Structure 1
Amino acid sequence: MKKIINEPSTVVAGSLTGLELAHGDLLTVIHDPAVIVRVDAPVPGKVAIISGGGSGHEPMHGGLVGPGMLDAACPGAVFTSPTPDQVTTAIEKTDGGAGALLIVKNYTGDVLNFETAAELAETEVRTIVIDDDVAVKDSTFTAGRRGVGGTVPLEKITGAAAARGDDLAAVHAVAERVVANVRSMGMALTAPTVPHVGEPSFDLADDEMEVGIGIHGEPGRARVPVENADGVVARLLEPILEDLPFAEGDRVLLFTNSMGATPLLELYLAHGIAERMLADRGIVVERRLVGPYVTSLEMQGMSLTLLRLDDELLELWDAPVHTAALRWGN
């Protein structure tokens, strides 16, 4: 195992210290329990948007804390759910009197711990569970589909709804529309290595790729010979398109995501192929996001996410955002 670390047990704490030093204008880190909070929290009268999950997926979620997106993020240990007290602290630190929306990826530990915190909260709380992964129906990490790349547009769009002054019921309704219209699938050429484990999560031969992986290194729906970029993109895109299903004339956001080690040279190549394949089907790509936003440590691989857009979701995606990882608008 080759990593730029001191001790596996201190990786997350040290990373959070560096995050705060790098982006202290946007966020503050509470170290016990570990919570990342926007620097101006709580914002009076605004619904708080809170998410979190295991570390190792950076910049999700801590890099998405700031105006127009998350009010707080709860970082667990690497690939490990945050605890209820982290979520409780996040709610308390961001409570501006309008309640909180908890965005939870569909992993058993995340769901249980966020639910526990919601029950303990002294403000009104609603929860939305994201389960956009079309690759598998169940896994050892989930009851049902996993929450993966669709989490980023969900956090961006609900963050914008809260920033424009929507109440909790309205923000939750927007979140439900995103979850109903977003689908994702990923693949891997290599496995990630969790620092405290010290060895890859699974073994792949040099001529193999895993299709349908999760963001914690979970195995996928098939292990097949390595294909060229056209073949890889088709393997990811076809199941996504069939699942909703997406149809000719649909307007979409296309999110092409690196799992951590795939360089932008390859990622832009894959994105261009995906746009061509969608155009061939009469599906209109109105917005794009390309880059490493939902990673799996140093996994070499990629995922595709499609969100079917309407005028309001498009407006909310375009609304200003200012975080460490995403920023546009005034």
Structure 2
Amino acid sequence: MKKIINKTDDIIEEMLSGLSASYPQLIHRVEDSRVIAKNDHKKQVALVSGGGSGHEPSHAGFVGDGMLSAAVAGDVFTSPTPDQIQIAMHEADQGEGVLLIVKNYTGDNLNFEMAQDLAEMDGIQSEIVVVDDDIAVEDSEFTAGKRGVAGTILVHKILGDAARNGASLDELKQLGDKVVKKMKTIGLALRAATVPEVGKPGFELAEDEIEYGVGIHGEAGYRREKIKPSRELAQELTSKILADYGTNPKKVGVLVNGMGGTPLMEQFIFMNDVLNLLKEQDIEVTFHKVGNYMTSLDMEGVSLTLIDLTDESIKEALESEVTTISW
């Protein structure tokens, strides 16, 4: 294993220190915590998210005006603890309540719900939006139902815009649940991630093999086969997502997300193929995003997210200006 690290025990602490020191004009680290929060204290409903480390820039890279108020990091691929989430809620709360945005994994759900109970005892009102956009696999080893993956970033963006514009806690909860139902994601892997503490890939793929539907923690997908040209990979993911919609949406947004080890060159090639396939289906693409947003350490692969943008207000929210590190 070759990694640019010091001691494996210090990875999260040193990453958070380096992150906050790199962007002091935007964010700060709450003392003695794993919480990254934005510097401004605009009066609005606070948005808090987080999860295991290893998915950078998620979630701290999306803290700032127009997106998250605070993000909390757990160990690699491990949910943050309730007390750390509670710290994030206290730091973010401006008296208007806190909306928690949680990826659908068993540990995350339990810990965020416990933190919600703790914060309620301190007088902080909150709601939870659970993101379960991964349609590849249901009831995996880490989750009951569908997993939460790259579509979570779009939820940050849409709800962040609404919160900045004065939406109430109840309104944000309703909007979040509505947006989650409009999104669908599937990923694929060419090579597994290597967790530093483990020192070897989480699963093995042959040099000429890929896996469809793999999760962001290396959870199993739904099929392995020989590597194919990008267009055929795009056809597999696009067709499965559209089939899950039932009736094709007339307008969509497209997020091609790198898993950490895939060059942007390949991501753009894949996006080009997706756009051509959607055009052949007479589906208008009104929003595009390509890059590394919800990674899996050094995994080689991509995920594809489509979001139904028939509702123009959602598109406008995605296009609004923000001040964050990574959007």
- TM-score, normalized by the shorter chain, greater than 0.5: yes
- Matched to 2:63, the amino acid is V
Per the alignment, residue 27 of structure 2 pairs with: 27
Per the alignment, residue 94 of structure 2 pairs with: 96
**Deviations 1:230-258, CA, capped at 9 Å, x for gaps:** 1111111111111123515x211100011
Per the alignment, residue 271 of structure 2 pairs with: 271
Q: Would you say 1:118 and 2:116 are equivalent positions?
A: yes
Please tell me whether the aligned partners of residues 13 and 31 of structure 1 are also in contact (alpha carbons under 8 angstroms): no
Choose from 51, 54, 65 the match for 2:52: 54
Compute the displacement of 1:31 (Å): 4.8
Q: For 2:194 and 2:247, locate their aligned partners in 1 and report how far apart those are by CA, in whole Å.
A: 35
Compute the displacement of 1:279 (Å): 0.8
- Matched to 1:2, the amino acid is K
Q: Secondary structure at the match of 1:74?
A: strand
List aligned pairs for 1:66-77, cutoff 5 A: 66-77=64-75
Please tell me whether the aligned partners of residues 54 and 79 of structure 1 are also in contact (alpha carbons under 8 angstroms): yes
Compute the displacement of 1:184 (Å): 0.2
Per the alignment, residue 241 of structure 2 pairs with: 240
Compute the displacement of 1:30 (Å): 2.0
- Matched to 1:176, the amino acid is D
**Deviations 1:56-83, CA, capped at 9 Å, x for gaps:** 0000101000000000001001100000
Per the alignment, residue 296 of structure 2 pairs with: 296
Per the alignment, residue 16 of structure 2 pairs with: 16
Number of residues of Structure 1 aligned to a counterpart in Structure 2: 323
Q: For 2:162 and 2:5, locate their aligned partners in 1 and report how far apart those are by CA, in whole Å.
A: 39
- Matched to 1:73, the amino acid is A
Q: Secondary structure at the match of 1:25?
A: coil
Per the alignment, residue 156 of structure 2 pairs with: 155
Q: Secondary structure at the match of 2:75?
A: strand
List aligned pairs for 1:195-234, cutoff 5 A: 195-234=196-235
Per the alignment, residue 260 of structure 2 pairs with: 260
Q: For 1:123 and 1:175, locate their aligned partners in 2 and report how far apart those are by CA, in whole Å.
A: 19
Per the alignment, residue 105 of structure 2 pairs with: 107
Compute the displacement of 1:32 (Å): 2.5
Per the alignment, residue 286 of structure 1 pairs with: 286
> How well do the aligned residues superpose, as a CA RMSD in angstroms?
1.0
Q: For 1:91 and 1:301, locate their aligned partners in 2 and report how far apart those are by CA, in whole Å.
A: 33
Q: For 1:182 and 1:40, locate their aligned partners in 2 and report how far apart those are by CA, in whole Å.
A: 30
Compute the displacement of 1:285 (Å): 0.5
Per the alignment, residue 129 of structure 2 pairs with: 128
1:82–1:246 CA distance, 2 compared to 1 (3 A): farther
Q: For 1:154 and 1:197, locate their aligned partners in 2 and report how far apart those are by CA, in whole Å.
A: 32
Per the alignment, residue 321 of structure 2 pairs with: 320
**Structure 2 alignment gaps of length 5 or more:** none
Q: For 1:156 and 1:140, locate their aligned partners in 2 and report how far apart those are by CA, in whole Å.
A: 29
Per the alignment, residue 37 of structure 1 pairs with: 37
TM-score (norm 1): 0.96
Per the alignment, residue 3 of structure 1 pairs with: 3
- Matched to 1:180, the amino acid is K
TM-score (norm 2): 0.97
